[in-house]
Structure 1
Amino acid sequence: MKKTYRIAAALLLCALAGLAQAQDKDRPPAAAPLPTWEQLTPAQRDELIAPMRERWNRSPEDRQRMYDHAHRWRTMSPEQRREARKGMQRWEQMDPQKREQARALFEHMRGMSPEDRKALKEKWREMTPEQRKQWFEENRSKP
């Protein structure tokens, strides 16, 4: 589920990055509050949507997943969205080895019952770094 939040947060960040790259003539002064969607110019709206449009057109096989993620994002509470953003930031700051370990842990937990996931999380917190490394080597997903 956290992976879903990270992807939704990434989609939102892509859209916001597009807005940040709007031409200076379309950009409101820095001190001015940003307008509502209806008050944006067509060029500003296009800047927001362009990254998503490009990704949508580039990856037909991912469209259902993107649509589902967008729907889930809209149904999240503000607190869930904040947590999703924090998770995305944590993921971006992780070194590649830790990311690989996180993927392996996520894949391993995907098919578990909530009770088994909770037990594994507790066990993981109690493990030493050496034990975690050993667990990772035993449970690493095959390429």
Structure 2
Amino acid sequence: MSLPLTRTALLAAALPWLLLCGNAALAQSASPPAWDQLTPAQREQLIGPVRERWNSADAQERERMLEHARRWQSMTPAERAEARHGMHSWKHLPPDQREEARALYSKLRTLPDAERDALRERWKQMTPEQRRRWAAENPAPPRRGSRGP
């Protein structure tokens, strides 16, 4: 003899199938869901790594993280795309070229506009060996964290 299914039992039995279908529909949709449409588990999946990084950071690194978030929020979509491209390029630079870039950018930040433009033009004309030598003579200050220039 079978028992009639209650509404709760029916939902509990159908939930895995509904989730599977729902995930397939999300995967096929043209754009990812809005934040409010994410499940608590999906939100946790996104936030968890940031929480861990925040909790393990010192006060200076936390301030740096907040400043990056403020700058990101103020960017236009085009600026964000350019930033993503730059981050992707940075990840694929060899360590010696990263050090050269750190040295160049730290120096550029200290110069007035005209001198900054002149250094950029001079940098473009340098050979790889000249760039290595310049970076060795003009090292970047010690890094605050383990990320980016």
- Report the TM-score when normalising by structure 1: 0.74
Task: Answer with 102-111 or 76-85: which moved more.
Answer: 102-111
1:37-68 superposed Cα distances (whole Å, 9 cap, x missing partner): 11111111111111111111111321111111
Q: Is residue 46 from structure 1 mapped to residue 41 from structure 2 by the alignment?
A: no
The residue aligned with 2:76 is: 77
Percent of aligned pairs sharing the same letter: 48
The residue aligned with 1:31 is: 28
Measured in 2, the distance between the counterparts of 1:41 and 1:87 equals: 31
1:115–1:28: structure 2 CA closer, same or farther, 3 Å change rule? farther
| Matched AA of 2:128 | P
Q: Is residue 127 from structure 1 mapped to residue 122 from structure 2 by the alignment?
A: no
| Matched AA of 2:62 | R
The residue aligned with 1:92 is: 91
Answer yes or no: is the 8 Å Cα contact 1:73–1:81 preserved in 2.
Answer: yes
Gaps of 5+ in 1: 1-23
Measured in 1, the distance between the counterparts of 2:49 and 2:93 equals: 25
Greater relative CO, 1 or 2 (CA 8 Å, sep 6+): 1
State which structure, 1 or 2, has the greater radius of gyration over its C-alpha atoms.
Answer: 2
Measured in 1, the distance between the counterparts of 2:58 and 2:97 equals: 30
Answer yes or no: is the 8 Å Cα contact 1:28–1:34 preserved in 2.
Answer: no
Look up the SS of the partner of 1:28 in the other structure: helix
Q: CA deviation at 1:96?
A: 0.8
- Report the TM-score when normalising by structure 2: 0.71
**Paired residues, what number?**
119
Measured in 1, the distance between the counterparts of 2:58 and 2:23 equals: 35
Gaps of 5+ in 2: 1-18, 143-149
